[in-house]
Amino acid sequence: MGPRLADIARHAGVSEATVSRVLNDKPGVGSDTRKAVLTALDVLGYERPARLRQRSAGLVGMVIPELENPVFPMFAQAAEGALAQRGYTPVLCTQTPGGITEDEYVELLLERNVSGILFVSGRHADTTASHERYHALVSRRLPIVLVNGYTDAIPAAFISCDDREAGRLAVNHLVALGHTRIGFTSGPDRYVPVRRKLEGYHQALAAHGLDGDDLVELSLFGVEGGHAAASRLVERGVTAMVCGSDMMALGAIRAARQRGLSVPRDFSVVGFDDSQLIAFTDPPLTTVRQPINAMALAAVRALCDEIAGHPVSHTEYIFDPELVVRGSTATAPARNAPVPLPQRAVDTVQPDGRVSHPRV
C-alpha cells in the first residue's frame, strides 16, 4: 500500500499538493519543506520512492580508541552525522585492550575499498610508534585525516584541540582561586596531547612564579589512573589538580574523598573534555571543554575534500578549548586549616561515570 498523501501532509504541516511535488521530485519546494515531508514519510513508516533515496557516496573508515571515555562516542556520533549528510556510510572501528589493533582495522577497511579513513587519537599521537602505516596509506593515495596528536612527519591534515592552552586555562583558573600547590596528571608522556598539556601547565605556573616540577604524576588514562595519581599528590600537599581527562578527574575526586578531603572545600579538581554526563557528577565537574562537534565537522570536511580531489593543506588545524567552571573547584583552603582524618567510607564510580559517596 502506497503512502497516503493526507497523512503525510498532516504530519508535515503542508498541503497534499506539496507532498505530491516532493514525492515526484518536482521543483518549487524549499529545502526545509522537502526535509519535513521526507521526515514525515520516515516517521510514518513509508518507504521513500527510489528516486529520493540518497545513493551512498562510499564507505569511510573511522578508527577511534575504546568507548569507555565518553568523549570518543561523542566524536563518533558527530562525525557519523556529518558523513551521512554528505552521502558517505561510516564504518566505526573501536579499539579495546587485547582486541583488534589499528593496523588490523586498516587492513579490514582496505578490503572494503573505503574512500578514506579518519584516525582519532591513534598511533600517530604516540611519539614512539612508527609512522610507516600512515605513509603507506598516503602512498596509495588514500585520503586520511588525523585527530589529536600532530606530527609533521605525516603528510596529512590534522585536527587538534589546543592542549597547551587547555593546560594554561586550568592552571590560571586555580591560581585565581588562591591555589599554589597545583598537581598535574595525565596519561603517559609519549603521547603528543599529554606533552602539550604538560607544557601549558608549566608555562602557566612559571608565569605566576610557581614551580610544579615535583607535582606531576603521569599515570594511565581512566578513572583508576586519576585515582592513583591523586593518591600520591595528596601526600605532597597539593590543594588542586589538573587532569588530562574527565575520567581521570573522577578518579582524583574519589581518591581525595577516601582521604577525608571535601571536594571542592579542601581539594579542587579540573578535568578535560566535557563529555555529556560530566555536568551531572557530584560535584559537577569544572573542566576544559574540547569543541568536539566543531572538530568532527572540520575533520569530515577535510576528508571529503580530499576524497573529491580538492587540495587540502597538510598542516594542523587547531581549535580553542573553553574553561567550564562548575562545582569541583573553589577557593584554596587556609594554610593552617586542620587536615581531616581519613574516613572509612569508600566512594564508588558508577557505570555512567558518576561518583557516588556516602555522607559522613
**So what CATH class is 58-162+292-321?**
alpha beta
Q: Across 19-156, where does the E strand assignment appear?
A: 58-64, 88-94, 116-120, 144-147
pLDDT of residue 55: 53
Retrieve residue 99's grid coordinates. 582486541
Q: What angle do CA 173, 174, 180 make, to 5 degrees?
A: 140
pLDDT of residue 295: 97
CA distance 269 to 286: 7
Domain residue ranges in the chain = 5-52, 58-162+292-321, 165-288+323-356
CA distance 319 to 57: 28
pLDDT at 340 over 90: no
**So what CATH class is 5-52?**
mainly alpha
Retrieve residue 11's grid coordinates. 504530519
Q: Which long-range contacts (CB under 8 A, 24 or more apart) does 230-235 make?
A: 230/183, 230/185, 230/255, 230/256, 230/269, 231/255, 231/259, 233/183, 233/185, 234/259, 234/261, 234/267
CA distance 46 to 346: 54
Per residue in 257-287, pLDDT (tens digit) is: 999 999 999 999 999 999 888 989 999 999 9
Percentage of the chain with pLDDT > 70?
A: 90
pLDDT at 355 over 60: no
pLDDT at 339 over 80: no
CA 125, 127, 132, 138 dihedral sign is: positive
CATH topology match: 58-162+292-321 vs 165-288+323-356? yes
pLDDT of residue 2: 58
pLDDT of residue 56: 56
Q: How far is CA 284 from CA 134, 263, 276, 360, in A?
A: 40, 10, 11, 19
Supply the mean pLDDT for the chain.
Answer: 88
Per residue in 20-71, pLDDT (tens digit) is: 888 887 888 887 888 788 888 877 877 777 666 555 568 999 999 877 888 9
Q: What angle do CA 204, 205, 211 make, to 5 degrees?
A: 155
pLDDT of residue 24: 84
> 165-288+323-356: CATH homologous superfamily?
Response regulator (3.40.50.2300)
pLDDT of residue 345: 39
Q: How far is CA 35 from CA 19, 23, 295, in A?
A: 11, 11, 26
Fill in the amino acid letter for 292.
Answer: I
pLDDT band at 336, cuts 50/70/90?
A: very low
Q: pTM here?
A: 0.78
Residue 216 is given by DSSP the state B
CA distance 351 to 347: 13
pLDDT of residue 54: 56
pLDDT of residue 250: 97
CA distance 182 to 207: 14
